[in-house]
Amino acid sequence: MKVSIRLRPSVLDPAGEAIKSAANKLGVDGINSLRIGKLIEINLNGVEEKDIERKIELLCDRLFANKVIEDYEYSFKKIDE
Amino acid sequence: MKVSIRLRPSVLDPAGEAIKSAANKLGVDGINSLRIGKLIEINLNGVEEKDIERKIELLCDRLFANKVIEDYEYSFKKIDE
């Protein structure tokens, strides 16, 4: 399962801005926007299919993202053993 | 353009371990592995198609990832204006 966590568009991203200006100095122009987020990759085992979404939402809400400043999005795939 | 930056498999991820044990306390069992990486999203403008890969590699190499401990992977799509 993959969870992408992004800063909300209204939230400033100073680290992203720093990398953006470093990129300009490296000679890479034309960067309109650059935002840094988090990527959480999880390997879940033995969770029933009907429970998966509920559990993922719980994890995202309570542990992964700060909903005041971040949005999240997830995707998962089943791996047969 | 999206760049995913992951810790190399051989590198410990204490923050990931902390979230994993917090998830257990929340009642989500069955997490085999949980790793935290970075997700960098960039909007590039006016870069010629033949230069894109070279520029992305340069950015990943020099700015985004620490190749001693991290691997990166990128994907991009063209957006017509």
Q: Could you please report the per-residue DSSP string of chain A?
A: -EEEEEE-TTS--HHHHHHHHHHHHTT---EEEEEEEEEEEEEE-S--HHHHHHHHHHHIIIII--TTTEEEEEE------
Q: Do B22 and A58 touch (CB under 8 A)?
A: no
Q: Do B64 and A30 touch (CB under 8 A)?
A: no
pTM of the model: 0.88
pLDDT of res. B81: 58
Cα distance from A10 to chain B (closest Cα, Å)?
16
Question: Is A75 an interface residue toward B (CB < 8 Å)?
Answer: no
CA distances from B3 to A23, A48, B38 (A): 15, 32, 8
Q: Tens of pLDDT along A8-21? A: 999 999 999 999 99
Residues 39-58 of B with CB under 8 A from A: 39-47, 55, 58
Superfamily of domain A2-75: Phosphoribosylformylglycinamidine synthase subunit PurS (3.30.1280.10)
Please give chain B's pLDDT, 81 residues, in tens: 899 999 999 999 999 999 999 999 999 988 999 999 999 999 998 888 888 889 999 999 999 999 999 999 999 888 765
ipTM: 0.88
Give the whole-number percent of chain A exceeding pLDDT 90. Answer: 75
Q: Do A4 and B46 touch (CB under 8 A)?
A: no
Q: Which residue bears the tokens 């992305």? A: B56
User: With contact defined as beta carbons under 8 Å apart, do A60 and A3 qualify?
Assistant: yes
pLDDT of res. A81: 58
Q: Tens of pLDDT along A17-41? A: 999 999 999 999 889 999 999 999 9
pLDDT of res. B78: 83
A5 DSSP β-pair partners? A38, A72
pLDDT of res. A8: 96
Picking from B51, B7, B17, B66, the residue whose alpha carbon sits closest to that of residue A39 is: B7
List alpha helices for B12-73, DSSP H: 14-25, 49-59
